Amino acid sequence: MRGCLQILAGIVAVFFILTAAVAVIVWPLLGIVTDREAMLEALSGLDEVITAAAPRVIANAMAVQAAQSGLEGVEIDESMLTGVVDELLPPGWVDAQAETAVNTLYDVLETGNLDDASVTVDTSPVIEQLKGPAGKRLVATVVQGIPACAEPLDLNELLNGGSITIPSCLPPEISRELVVQEAHAQFVEALDENPQLTARAGVIQVPLSEVIGTDTPEAEAARQQITQVRRLFLLAQRWGWVLWLLPVMSLLLIAVLAVRSVSELGHWWGWPLGVTAVLVFFLTLILPGFAALIAETIIIPTQIDALASSMRELARSVVSSVTEMWRSRVYLQAGAMLGVGLLLIAIGFFTKPTQNHEFNE
């Protein structure tokens, strides 16, 4: 009888190891994803990622647009854009916009109110930089990439009403600085005349209902997907702790089936706890690699290779931040589990086992 109970207890111990490992690994991840402050912390530091990627994206996008307009000879100097981007994006601006977007997302997930939700972007600091020397240097970077004309160009076509448009080539007799000044002046004028930028002093507010749309099958499908995501979010936020019920019940069942003394309690609880901790430590070495691989293989719906590469870099940065937070929480739980397991094993070895054999029959 006692032997059968011990066999059952061994099976339950294996079940405990599996369920406890899942709980230790999944529960911290759910805690991070459903925690607004944790995600804000994970997304902090995007300034460096965006600033490093922006020159490549801008250069590639301008080259693509120039090619589509027939300006095949235009070459954008990415190194010149690096300094310009540093001036265009004020320190902390990207992080501030990311924080606003995250707060909006979590407001929708927690309340389910899509009609009143909106994404707000404060472009005023960037616009001020575009109107100043940084914006002028950005235009100069484009103008410097325009090749010189091999044939004479009609100056009356180039000089149109006192303003200069950027052509496919520039004649040597026209000062590039003059082209930069006129092009930048037109650019600033276009910014000042943009009603979306002037109505709210550069603050753009985009309602999510307008982004999703209304009265279309695509909009209805998008709303249903958001509703499903919200249900999963609330389920994980409110009931994530349920993952620990099976491991706790397994330990209690082991105690009922096989524990007849303090020594047996130490062995029957200590070894499963210790093995689970070691298994979790091993998995923490493997799982982040799979997460990084997923971030590498994300398909970005864009025709601009540099933008897709930058989006993958952004995804890698976020995945890396979340992974570090997840790993620290997992290590804390697995370390506590290992410590308790070793303590119980020591109690099992150094405590005198019971001499009661009434269950051996």
Note whether residue 340 is domain-resident. Answer: yes
**pLDDT at position 361 over 50:** no
* More confident of the two residues 63 and 26: 26
pLDDT of 359? 38
* Interval 128-133 mean pLDDT: 91
**CA 264/CA 359 separation, integer angstroms:** 14
* More confident of the two residues 249 and 163: 249
**311 touches 300 (CB < 8 A):** yes
* Interval 276-294 mean pLDDT: 89
**106 touches 43 (CB < 8 A):** no
Note whether residue 228 is domain-resident. Answer: yes
Q: Closest by alpha carbon to 16, among 344, 252, 259, 263?
A: 252
C-beta neighbour count of 63 within 10 angstroms: 19
**pLDDT at position 226 over 50:** yes
Note whether residue 360 is domain-resident. Answer: no
pLDDT of 302? 52
* More confident of the two residues 53 and 231: 231
**pLDDT at position 358 over 50:** no
Core vs surface per residue 67-76: b (16+ CB within 10 A) or e: eeeebeebeb
Q: How confident is the model over 310-319, as pLDDT tens digits?
A: 677 777 888 8
pLDDT of 299? 53
Q: What is the DSSP letter of 177?
A: H
**CA 253/CA 243 separation, integer angstroms:** 17
Note whether residue 192 is domain-resident. Answer: no
Confidence class for position 306, pLDDT limits 50, 70, 90: low
Candidate from 97-106, 139-148, 211-220, 294-303 with smallest mean pLDDT: 294-303
Confidence class for position 178, pLDDT limits 50, 70, 90: confident
**pLDDT at position 301 over 70:** no
Confidence class for position 327, pLDDT limits 50, 70, 90: very high
Note whether residue 219 is domain-resident. Answer: yes
pLDDT of 73? 58
* Interval 62-81 mean pLDDT: 69
Question: What's the mean pLDDT when you consider all of the chain?
Answer: 83
Angle value at C-alpha 212, between 207 and 217, nearest 5 degrees: 155
Confidence class for position 161, pLDDT limits 50, 70, 90: very low
**CA 144/CA 170 separation, integer angstroms:** 10
Assign 3-state DSSP to the chain and report helix, strand, coil percentages, each to 5: 75, 5, 20
The pair of structure tokens assigned to 361 is 């029959």
Angle between helices 124-131 and 78-88 (to 10 degrees): 130
* More confident of the two residues 201 and 188: 188
Note whether residue 159 is domain-resident. Answer: no
* Interval 191-196 mean pLDDT: 83
Q: Which domain holds residue 109?
A: 2-123+202-350
pLDDT of 162? 46
How far is residue 243 CA from its own chain's centroid? 25
Note whether residue 173 is domain-resident. Answer: no
The secondary structure of 216-281 as a DSSP string is SHHHHHHHHHHHHHHHHHHHHHHHGGGGGHHHHHHHHHHHHHH--SHHHHHHHHHHHHHHHHHHHH
Please report, rounded to a whole number, the percentage of residues in the chain having pLDDT higher than 90: 37
Q: Closest by alpha carbon to 344, among 291, 253, 244, 276?
A: 276
**CA 165/CA 296 separation, integer angstroms:** 41
**CA 268/CA 254 separation, integer angstroms:** 7
**76 touches 191 (CB < 8 A):** no
The pair of structure tokens assigned to 102 is 């995250």
* Interval 157-180 mean pLDDT: 65
**pLDDT at position 8 over 90:** yes
pLDDT of 221? 85
C-alpha count within 13 angstroms, C-beta hemisphere, residue 145: 23
**CA 8/CA 23 separation, integer angstroms:** 22
Please report, rounded to a whole number, the percentage of residues in the chain having pLDDT higher than 70: 84
pLDDT of 32? 95
* More confident of the two residues 199 and 96: 96
Number of domains into which the chain is organized: 1
Note whether residue 226 is domain-resident. Answer: yes
Q: How confident is the model over 13-27, as pLDDT tens digits?
A: 999 999 999 999 999
The pair of structure tokens assigned to 235 is 């389920």
**CA 168/CA 149 separation, integer angstroms:** 8
